[in-house]
Amino acid sequence: MPDWVDPSLESIEDAADLVVSGNWRRAFDHGVDEISFVDETWIPQRKEHQDLIDFWTDRKSQRPDNLFTSRMVDPTAIGKVLSKILLLDVADDGFDARYRVYGTGISSMVGKDWTGKLVSEMNRSVRSNQALFYRACYRAVFRTAKPLYTHHQPLSWIDASAWKRLILPVHDEAGEKIIRFLVCNLAEKGRELSSQEWKLLHDQKYS
């Protein structure tokens, strides 16, 4: 397992360049199986991702500029997938982001609700060796304003074989910049922690 490194802004930008160009394997040599921008030819493997991209596409089609904006984020319309949703506020021009909503289905698996925390703060706390991967992907979405799909391995203590993640850009109402990321994060072959396991993991990892 590679040693944990807190990525610099330069390394994040370099990795985001490789994500944008499609050469992401040169940036991430551990635990990342797929990164791809989503277009009309994309075929999702999970219904939840299809439902969310349909919701996103339908809502943005209601604007002349075809942009999905912050007012269009409607938890009641997202439906069953809500517990697997992350909503992040952009920080530092996409080099970082703060969790505004952290779905209960995800927090029950990872052992902590990261609402209100930065992605960088989460990475430093758990010393995730995929810190560069997380932040470069958000920076790439911020730069391109395009949806991004990723498939990567979770941290070792999480009972899942993979995370399958769809990141959607959210514009401000003026349509001038990306201010949020709407994310659906799905576990493969995972299970939710019991309350006793959650407490034990929390005490071990985050105290």
Structure-block tokens of residue 23: 């050469």
For the chain, percent of residues with pLDDT exceeding 70:
88
Where do the domains of the chain lie? 9-206
Q: What is the pLDDT of residue 111?
A: 84
pLDDT for 26: 94
pLDDT at 8: 96
How far apart are the C-alpha atoms of 74 and 188, rounded to whole Å? 26
Q: What is the mean pLDDT of the chain?
A: 88
Q: Which residue has the higher pLDDT, 142 or 47?
A: 142
- pLDDT bracket for residue 205 (50, 70, 90): low
Q: How far apart (Å, rounded) are the C-alpha atoms in residues 157 and 127?
A: 13
Tokens of 49: 């991702």
- At 43 the pLDDT is 85
84-143 pLDDT tens trace: 999 999 999 999 999 999 999 898 888 889 999 999 999 999 887 889 999 999 999 999
d(CA 153, CA 145): 25
Q: Compare 80 and 62 and report the one with higher pLDDT.
A: 62
Read off the pLDDT of each residue in 25-44 and give the average, rounded to a whole number: 89
The Cα 123–Cα 111 span in angstroms is 14
Residues above pLDDT 90, as percent of the chain: 63
Structure token pair of residue 190? 């995972």
What's the confidence (pLDDT) of residue 45?
85
Q: What is the pLDDT of residues 4-34, one digit of tens each?
A: 789 999 999 999 999 999 999 999 977 899 9
Residue with tokens 């995800």: 106
CA distances 165 to 17, 85, 203, Å, are 20, 10, 27
Helix, strand, coil shares, percent, the chain, to 5 = 40, 25, 35
| Residue 191, helix vs strand vs coil | coil
In the chain, DSSP finds a helix count (H) and a strand count (E) of: 7, 6
Mean pLDDT, residues 161-184? 95
Class (C level, CATH) for 9-206: alpha beta
Among 170, 165, 172, smallest CA distance to 148 is for 165
What is 126-145 written as a DSSP string?
HT-TTHHHHHHHHHHHHHH-
CA-to-CA dists, residue 23 to 20, 122, 150, angstroms: 8, 26, 14
Is pLDDT of 203 > 90?
no
Amino acid, res. 166: L
Residue 13 and residue 138 in contact, taking contact as beta carbons nearer than 8 Å: no
Tell me: pLDDT of 46 over 60: yes
